[in-house]
Chains A and B, each alone.
Chain A
Amino acid sequence: MIRKLFALKTTSIRNRLLIQLGLVAVVISLFLFLVVRLALVQAVTATQDRLLAAAVSSVVDKIYVVDNMVSLDLPYDTFSLLGAIGEDRIFYQIKDDGKFLTGYEDLPYEGPFGDLQEPIFTNIDYLDETFRAASIENVIFAGNQARRLTIIIAQSQNFQATVLTKISTNLIFVTFIFLIIAILFAFLTANLTIRPIGSFADDVKMRGPSDLRKVSSDVPSELLPLVHSLNGFISRFRTALRQTETFIAEAAHHIRTPLSVVKSESELALRKSKTPENREHLRNIIRSVDQTNRSATQLLDHAMVLYRAERPEKQKFSAHQAVEDLINQFRPAADLRDLDIAFSSTLEQKQQLYLDRTLLETSLRNLLDNALKYAIAESTVFVDLSQDKKQITVTITNDAANLKDFNASQIFKKFKRGTENKDIIGSGLGLSIVLEAANAINATIKVKKLKGESVCAILSLPC
C-alpha cells in the first residue's frame, strides 16, 4: 500500500514530502486517539472501582454480631445509588466462612479477596454480561470465634460503556480535525520546502537563449550541490559552444583559403593556356575545386544550423530589409549569368520578424542560390514577400530547365540530386539545410513545380 502510494509521482519531491508528512500525521493521530482512549477507560474504571469500594465498605458497616449470630442490614440506599447510575444492575454475595449468607449464590467469583483498604477489583461474566466486581474478606468475632466473611458486589458496565462511547465519538472527531490540520500543515510545509526549487527553476527558465551566465540564486544549502553541478554544466556547454563556433570559423578559413589559391591559380593558368588538352585539365581542376568548396560550405552551413538550432539567437529585424539585403548580395552573381532578380513586397518596411536572423538568411541564401543556379540564363528570378494574419511568406520562383525528374517528396533528402542536373555543381545538401533551418525557426518550406518550366519555393515564417 505504502509502496503504491510512493509509486504515485515519485518524481515529485513535493508529493513525496506530502505523503511522508501525511503518513506521520495519521500515525500520530492514531497513537493519540489510542492513548487518550486508554486513559479514559482507566479513569472511568477507577471511578467505578471507587464507587464499588465505597459500597463494599458500607456493607461491612452494616454487619454486626448479635448473640454470636452474624446479622446484616442491607444498605439499600447504596445499592440504589449504584443502580441509578446509567441504570446499571447490582448483584452481591456475602458468605460466612464459605457458607452462603445472602445475595446471589450463583455469582461466579471464588476469590482472591482484598480487604477494606485494598479491595480486589475484577471483571466477571454473569448472565451473559460483563460485570465489574469488588471483593473483600473481612474477619469479625462472634463470641470467641473469628468469623471470615467474604463480600462481593458486582455492577454492570452500562454507564461506563455509555460514557466511553460518547467520549470516544468526540475523540474521533477531535482526532480527525487534528489530522486535517496536520495534513494542511504538511501541505504548507511541502510547498515552503519546494519554493526555493521553484524560484531557482524560474531564475533559470526566465533566461534568454544565449544567457549562459552562472546561476547565482540564493538557494538552501541542500540545493547547492545541484547549483554547482548546473553551473559546471553551463560552463562546459559554453566552452563547447565557443569551441564549435571557433571550429566552424577556423575550418572555413583552413578549407577555403587553399581552395582559393588552387582556384585562382587554375583560372590564371586557364587564361594563359593555349592547348585544348591543358584547358580541359584546368577546367576539371576548377570544377573539382568548386565542387569541394560547395560541399565544404554546405557542411559548414549544416554544422552551423545544427549549432544554432540548439542556441537560437532571436532578434527583431525588418523582414523587408533582410530579404532585400540578401537579394542585393546576390545581384553581382546573378549579373554574371545575365539573370534579373525581381523583388516585390506587400509588406511595410517596419514589419518585423522575431527569430534567429542567421537561420532565416541561411534558408533564404540556399533557396536563392538554388534558384540562380538552376534558372535558365537571361531569365528573371522572382522574389515576393507577402503577409497574411498568421505568417509572412517569402516566395522564390524561377524558370528552370530539366524538370522531368522533379520529385517534391525527395528534394529535401540529404545528398539527393536530380539526375538531369549532373552537370551543375551541387552537393545535394542545400534544401535539407533549408528544411533544418526552417524547422529551427518554426517556419515551413514547400517546393513545387508550376505550370510550364517553373519552380517555386515557399518559405512561411511565423510573425
Chain B
Amino acid sequence: MKVLLIEDTKELADSLRLFFELEKNHVEMAHDLSEAKHFASVTHFDIILLDIMLPDGDGRDFLRTIRSKNNNTPVIVMTARSEISDRIDLLDIGADDYIIKPFEFAELEARCRAVLRRHSGQDQLALNYGNATLYPLIAMLEAYGEKTSLRNRELRLLEIFFNSPEIIFSKEQLTDRLFSISEEVTDNAIEVYVGRVRKKLHNTNLQIETVRGIGYRLHVND
C-alpha cells in the first residue's frame, strides 16, 4: 500500500512512517501543504493521512483542492479536535474518515482498512502464504476456493503471521499487537485466539506452531 503522510510534527510523522513500513507499506512524507500538493500532483497514492493544522495553511484546503480535481484517493484526517461539528465539516468537504490524536496504530490501521474496503474491491490487497490467501480488507481467508470469514482479532493475528511467516512471536508481543494497552487482558487470551485461528486454518497447509517457552510461528506443513 502506498501512503502519503501529511504531518508537520516530525516525530509523529517519523513514528507513523516506521509503523507503516513495518507493515510492508510504502510511505511518502510531506511536512507542509506545498510538499503535499507536489506529491499529490506527481504520484498516485492508495491512501492519504492528513493533518489539519499545517505550518503553511489548513489541511482542509488541500482536501478541497484534490477533490476539486476529481482526485478520489481515500483521505483520513488526523486531528487534535474532537468536536462533532469538525467531523461533519470534514466529511462534508470530502474526507473519508477522521481519527483523533493520540490514536493507537491498531485503530489507524483499522480505519485505513475500512476506508480502503469502501473504495476498492476485495482483490485490491491480498497476502499469500502456503496455499492460503488472506484478504485483510474484507477479513477473509481463502484456501482451495473455500472462504472463511474472520473476526477482527483473528484477522490481525493472521496478518502478523502472514507478514512475517516462520518468525516466532512471543505471547507478549502478540498481546501488545492484538489488545489495547488500556484493556483488561486475561492470561490465556492469546491462547484462545491462536486456538480459534488454528481451527480456521484446518483446510490449508498452514499451521500455527507453538515453540515451547518462546511463542508461536506460522509454518507451512510439507
Contacts and interface: CB of A to CB of B under 8 A. Distances in A.
A261 B100 CA distance: 13
B43 interface: no
Interface residues of B, number: 41
A200 B82 CA distance: 39
Interface residues of A, number: 48
A72 interface: no
A66 interface: no
Contacts of A424: 182-184
B101 A268 contact: no
B84 A362 contact: yes
Contacts of A332: 97, 107, 110-111, 114
Given A256-B80, A335-B152, A361-B84, A290 B182 contact: yes
Contact of B102 (A268, A289, A300): A289
A357 B82 CA distance: 14
Given A268-B18, A290-B181, A293-B102, A333 B82 contact: no
Contacts of A386: none
Interface in A155-169: none
Nearest to A317: B88
A98 B151 CA distance: 145
Contact of B101 (A260, A270, A335): A260
B49 to A, nearest CB: 12
Given A259-B101, A260-B102, A378-B151, A279 B15 contact: no
A67 interface: no
B222 interface: no
A357 B87 CA distance: 12
B9 A260 contact: yes
Given A252-B81, A261-B9, A271-B177, A331 B103 contact: no
A336 interface: yes
Contacts of A267: 15, 19, 104-105
Contacts, number: 113
A257 B15 CA distance: 13
Contacts of A291: 182
A291 to B, nearest CB: 8
A236 interface: no
A336 B83 CA distance: 23
A301 B83 CA distance: 8
Contacts of B98: 329
Nearest to A361: B84
B104 to A, nearest CB: 7
Nearest to A339: B152
Listed residue (B19, B98, B100, B176) with the most chain A CB atoms within 10 angstroms of its CB:
B176
Contacts of A270: 176
Nearest to B182: A425
Interface string A265-283: 1011011000010010001
B106 to A, nearest CB: 6
Contacts of A37: none
Listed residue (A297, A335, A423, A424) with the most chain B CB atoms within 10 angstroms of its CB:
A335
B123 interface: no
Listed residue (B87, B176, B181) with the most chain A CB atoms within 10 angstroms of its CB:
B181
Given A259-B101, A329-B98, A333-B107, 8 more contacts: A264-B15, A268-B18, A268-B22, A287-B182, A291-B182, A297-B82, A332-B114, A336-B106
8 contacts: A257-B9, A261-B12, A279-B176, A283-B181, A291-B182, A335-B114, A362-B84, A424-B182
Interface of B: 9, 11-12, 15-16, 18-19, 22, 53, 80-85, 87, 97-98, 100-107, 110-111, 114, 151-153, 172-173, 176-177, 180-184
